[in-house]
A and B are shown apart, each in its own frame.
Chain A
Amino acid sequence: MDNDLSVDLQDQVQRAASAGYALAICGGGSQPQPGNPVQGETVNLTGHTGVIDYAPEELIITVRSGTPLTAISALLAQHGQMLAFEPPIFSAASTIGGAIACNRSGAARPWAGAARDSVLGCQILDGCGQRLNFGGQVMKNVAGYDVSRLMCGAHGTLGILLSVSLKVLPIPPESVTLARTCGADEAINTMNQLCGKPLPLTGAAWLDNQLHLRLGGSPESVRQAMHQLSEYDRGPDIWSAISNLQHPFFDRQAPLWRLAVTPTSGLPPVPGDWLIDWAGGQRWLSSPADANTIRQIASEAGGHAQRWHAGDGPVFQPLPAGLLALHRRLKHVFDPLGILNPGRLYAEL
């Protein structure tokens, strides 16, 4: 479990940099949608594992990027703690590096933050094979630019994550799911209304005409919230099935899209089925509609769409020209030769 491959990985990147060939960075390979395909020599991070530092009273853990999420969760759980962003665990092979590189977060995203919100520091290999340290193992640190968070969601195009330091939180002692029947528009409105109240919400999702709420916290706060939400019944614990995309909703044949939108935006008239998560902010759409239509819907709702399974074409929503140019300049800072996951995010990066 404790296996430091930093030196080997650094050698591999330096060899690729001197010869000028591309690298395809790979963790557990469990991401249902890692991004656009990459042609290159595989950099396998699954052997680069282990907990570098963990002191429960510190609320911080530092781990190597290839460490499986299941191992991290199990260790934290022994001390009554968890990763606040509840990363989806797509399979036993899923690694922390993959979760951070793809900025994957679970049901509590609107309240506990995204993967990027838990990141305190990281060590990376840049595209020249330099080992660089950013951020730190402390809660507050404003020295230097926040490169650690920049790595979240960069899909390995700016650096290979060697290790990350993450803020962890106590597991809520009590967790309860409530549900009631309602339509999508009413659900969107209700979720947003509830988010404005001091309730211990840790989940709000709508599917199959049911609004599901998860309450998490101390027994006292959960009990009081249940009293306030007395019109709801107890509901099934659907949360990990939704986050891990194992719910039957995801078995549909039509192409699947992930939309991140303004949480209050209404459902647009487009053929297909919706699953609404994150109190309205993350929406899964299984639809035969063409890519342009779906990108436009997402854009009009204040967000973006990612092509998930089936269908062809680029995975990510195109960037406006000015923003893309800035992305290219930043890519050049970290990977001047363009060898780290080229094309994974955009063809130009």
Chain B
Amino acid sequence: MNPASFLAELRELLPADAIVSRQSTLPAWECDGLSAMKRVPLAVVLPTAESEVQAVLRLCLRHGIPVVPRGAGTGLSGGALPHEQGIVLSLARMKSILELNPLLRTARVQPGVRNLSVSQAARPWGLYYAPDPSSQIACTIGGNVAENSGGVHCLKYGLTVHNIQSLRLVCMDGEILTLGGTSPDSAGYDLTALLTGSEGLLGIVTEVTLRLLPLPEHTRLVMAAFNSTHQAADAVSRIIAAGIIPAGLEMMDNPAIRAAEDFVHAGYPVDASAILLCEVDGAMAEVEARTSQIDSLLRDSGASHIRHAETEEQRNLLWKGRKSAFPAVGRLAPDYYCMDGSIPRRKLAEVLDGIEQLSRQYGLAVANVFHAGDGNLHPLILYDANQPGELERAESFGADILALSVAVGGSITGEHGVGLEKIDQMCLQYQADEMACFHAIKRAFDPAGLLNPGKAIPELHRCAELSAMHVHQGQVPFPGLERF
């Protein structure tokens, strides 16, 4: 590997403005949404066409240069953290919606297209793209595929994997494969599913065919307040047990409610121990019938207060509080540590109790926001890295929460991905044999191991350590951290 000759050859392949290698400019790509981890890459490459992606990958393979793919860089697990001897392959300039077929209800897009812009483009035909991660204004479809992104509506409408039909993949050796298609299934193995959520380790996606859904006729959001988190968890179970699949079902505990209310003034009841946000959609008669059924289930569970969003503005405001819970909680303490555990829904109350107990044990406060409908927890541990020992306590606390999630039959990550952040916690969830299988899958696609090396699947000898995500007022708590 000779970086100088690699860069010289790279400049012959691509126009000058597609390559960033000046030391003063490179730090713009030094991290993704997990700003605690930073590295400056050798260069950033911004192709505008699949043929350029192909040429760049072939060149990297010849020179043994690692490739870290990147969409908008909104990921929360360090999946797009650069490699110091490698390039960042930014797909941000491949941002065309290539085709929107209203009759077939598909959108064929390049990977750099923003999530929300698909729904905006489809709207004139009464269609939309269902997965709606909170970062949807900025995050790209390519990144969504890499992470198998969810959103607040995935209980009813599914994750990214349920809403894509076909991928074009450029392999590390430059071979181009079409996976899936616009038919309901394809010959051979379901490689579209395998690629979704593969965190850029298997190939570079250059085109995605998305499934579009008809916009619901009506939508209504119900907010309910509870005097205990147990009651709120019970209400979630009752709603599901009644045969209702709400379009969204979200829960926040008191610290999260207070922080969000302070932040957006949505009118949340700040004295409540927990609130639920429950959204139903469908035909008007359907929405009326379901909301009245939900009201009575909420009352039976002991809701102290129930409110319906009467206008679209009120609905958006109530959602805005939920969607900005992370930054809101970030104002409660100098630092917070964001978790992404996924648990069986019936274990919600048990896990909440466990988290509260750990909170006392570690002497650190925690605010909880949940995708309650699908059991995806985001506990936010509050701490101050300037206080000696707090950072380590927060780390141990977080590790215990993930261990608890796995112990009750859940997962270390519901939707943020493993990236580099949770690479060690993978060892809690999988045994050595499964991990060996993951590595073998990686080799089947990328035998040289150049695509996003060191992410998502840990080397087995790493499994003793635990690491975590830390945010300290935009500063780096451990700048020189070497992770592999």
Q: Residues of A at under 8 Å CB distance from B?
A: 55-60, 80-81, 103, 109-110, 113-114, 116-117, 126, 130-134, 136-147, 149-150, 152-154, 158, 169-171, 173, 189, 192-193, 195-200, 217-218, 220-221, 223-225, 260-264, 278, 281-282, 301-304, 316-319, 322-324, 326-327, 329-330, 332-334, 345-346
A57 touches B433 (CB 8 A): no
Query: Which residues of chain B have C-beta atoms less than 8 A from A113's C-beta?
Result: 158, 162
Bound complex: CA A334 to CA B441 (Å) = 9
A146-B193, A193-B103, A220-B283 as given contacts; A130 in contact with B158, CB under 8 Å: no
| B374 CB-CB contact with A under 8 Å | yes
| B214 CB-CB contact with A under 8 Å | yes
B411 touches A143 (CB 8 A): yes
Query: Which residues of chain B have C-beta atoms less than 8 A from A153's C-beta?
Result: 185, 189-190
A103-B190, A149-B194 as given contacts; A142 in contact with B155, CB under 8 Å: no
A139-B342, A197-B214 as given contacts; A221 in contact with B286, CB under 8 Å: yes
Cβ distance B436 to chain A, nearest Cβ, rounded Å: 9
Bound complex: CA A319 to CA B176 (Å) = 14
Bound complex: CA A138 to CA B104 (Å) = 32
B426 touches A143 (CB 8 A): yes
B376 touches A192 (CB 8 A): no
Kindly specify which of B239-247, B253-261, B470-478 makes contact with the partner chain: B239-247
Query: Which residues of chain A have C-beta atoms less than 8 A from B375's C-beta?
Result: 138-140
| B136 CB-CB contact with A under 8 Å | no
Besides A141-B414, A144-B418, A218-B290, 18 other A-B contacts (C-beta < 8 A)? A58-B240, A60-B344, A133-B430, A138-B343, A138-B411, A138-B414, A141-B410, A142-B197, A144-B456, A146-B161, A170-B243, A170-B245, A197-B126, A221-B282, A260-B183, A262-B182, A264-B103, A323-B188
B430 touches A139 (CB 8 A): no
In this complex, the interface size class of chain B, counting residues with CB under 8 Å from chain A, is: 35 or more
| B186 CB-CB contact with A under 8 Å | yes
Among residues of B, the one whose C-beta sits closest to the C-beta of A135 is: B411
Within 8 A of A (CB), among B104-130: 104-105, 125-127
Among residues of B, the one whose C-beta sits closest to the C-beta of A281 is: B184
| B457 CB-CB contact with A under 8 Å | yes
A195 touches B105 (CB 8 A): yes
A220 touches B177 (CB 8 A): no
Query: Which residues of chain B have C-beta atoms less than 8 A from A282's C-beta?
Result: 184
Kindly identify which residue among B345, B415, B438 contacts A57, using a CB–CB cutoff of 8 Å.
Answer: B345
| B440 CB-CB contact with A under 8 Å | yes
Query: Which residues of chain B have C-beta atoms less than 8 A from A217's C-beta?
Result: 282, 286
Among residues of B, the one whose C-beta sits closest to the C-beta of A316 is: B187
Bound complex: CA A302 to CA B181 (Å) = 7
B148 touches A146 (CB 8 A): yes
A114 touches B346 (CB 8 A): no
A158 touches B189 (CB 8 A): yes
Bound complex: CA A58 to CA B373 (Å) = 9
| B198 CB-CB contact with A under 8 Å | yes
Bound complex: CA A225 to CA B433 (Å) = 51
Query: Which residues of chain B have C-beta atoms less than 8 A from A263's C-beta?
Result: 104, 182-184
Query: Which residues of chain A have C-beta atoms less than 8 A from B215's C-beta?
Result: 198
| B154 CB-CB contact with A under 8 Å | yes
B409 touches A136 (CB 8 A): yes
A149 touches B188 (CB 8 A): no
B285 touches A55 (CB 8 A): no
| B422 CB-CB contact with A under 8 Å | yes
B184 touches A260 (CB 8 A): yes
Among residues of A, the one whose C-beta sits closest to the C-beta of B457 is: A144
A139 touches B187 (CB 8 A): no
Task: Mark each residue of chain B from 348 to 385: 1 if its CB lies under 8 Å from any CB of chain A, else 0.
Answer: 00000000000000000000000100111000000000
Among residues of A, the one whose C-beta sits closest to the C-beta of B290 is: A218
Bound complex: CA A159 to CA B198 (Å) = 20
Among residues of B, the one whose C-beta sits closest to the C-beta of A155 is: B189
Among residues of A, the one whose C-beta sits closest to the C-beta of B239 is: A57
Among residues of A, the one whose C-beta sits closest to the C-beta of B198 is: A145
A109-B184, A147-B437, A326-B177 as given contacts; A138 in contact with B162, CB under 8 Å: no
Query: Which residues of chain A have C-beta atoms less than 8 A from B429's C-beta?
Result: 136, 143-144
Q: Residues of B at under 8 Å CB distance from A?
A: 101-105, 125-127, 147-148, 150, 154-155, 158-159, 161-162, 175-177, 179, 181-191, 193-194, 196-198, 214-217, 237-238, 240-241, 243-245, 282-286, 288-290, 342-346, 371, 374-376, 409-418, 422, 426, 429-431, 433-434, 437-438, 440-441, 443-445, 456-457
A117-B162, A141-B342, A327-B189 as given contacts; A146 in contact with B181, CB under 8 Å: no
Cβ distance B157 to chain A, nearest Cβ, rounded Å: 11
Bound complex: CA A202 to CA B159 (Å) = 20
Bound complex: CA A43 to CA B410 (Å) = 31
Kindly identify which residue among B126, B155, B241, B346 contacts A139, using a CB–CB cutoff of 8 Å.
Answer: B155
Residue of A140, A199, A263, A302 with most chain B CB atoms under a 10 A cut-off: A140
A-B contacts, 14 of them at CB < 8 A, read A58-B240, A103-B190, A130-B433, A138-B409, A146-B197, A149-B161, A170-B243, A220-B285, A302-B181, A302-B183, A303-B181, A323-B179, A323-B188, A329-B445
Residue of B183, B288, B440, B441 with most chain A CB atoms under a 10 A cut-off: B183
Among residues of A, the one whose C-beta sits closest to the C-beta of B422 is: A143
Bound complex: CA A113 to CA B158 (Å) = 10
A-B pairs, top 8 by smallest CB distance, nearest first, are A303-B183, A149-B193, A170-B243, A139-B374, A220-B285, A140-B414, A329-B444, A141-B411
Cβ distance B484 to chain A, nearest Cβ, rounded Å: 18
Query: Which residues of chain B have C-beta atoms less than 8 A from A303's C-beta?
Result: 181-183, 186
Bound complex: CA A60 to CA B344 (Å) = 9
A146 touches B194 (CB 8 A): yes
B283 touches A224 (CB 8 A): yes
A192 touches B103 (CB 8 A): yes
A149 touches B190 (CB 8 A): yes
Bound complex: CA A117 to CA B343 (Å) = 19
Bound complex: CA A126 to CA B284 (Å) = 50
Cβ distance B61 to chain A, nearest Cβ, rounded Å: 16
Residue of B127, B150, B194 with most chain A CB atoms under a 10 A cut-off: B194
Cβ distance A57 to chain B, nearest Cβ, rounded Å: 4
B344 touches A138 (CB 8 A): yes
Query: Which residues of chain B have C-beta atoms less than 8 A from A200's C-beta?
Result: 282
Query: Which residues of chain A have C-beta atoms less than 8 A from B216's C-beta?
Result: 198
Kindly identify which residue among B150, B179, B241, B426 contacts A140, using a CB–CB cutoff of 8 Å.
Answer: B150
Among residues of A, the one whose C-beta sits closest to the C-beta of B184 is: A281
A278 touches B282 (CB 8 A): no
Among residues of A, the one whose C-beta sits closest to the C-beta of B283 is: A224
B102 touches A196 (CB 8 A): yes
Query: Which residues of chain B have C-beta atoms less than 8 A from A319's C-beta?
Result: 187-188
Cβ distance B77 to chain A, nearest Cβ, rounded Å: 9
Bound complex: CA A319 to CA B344 (Å) = 39
B415 touches A142 (CB 8 A): yes
A140 touches B194 (CB 8 A): no
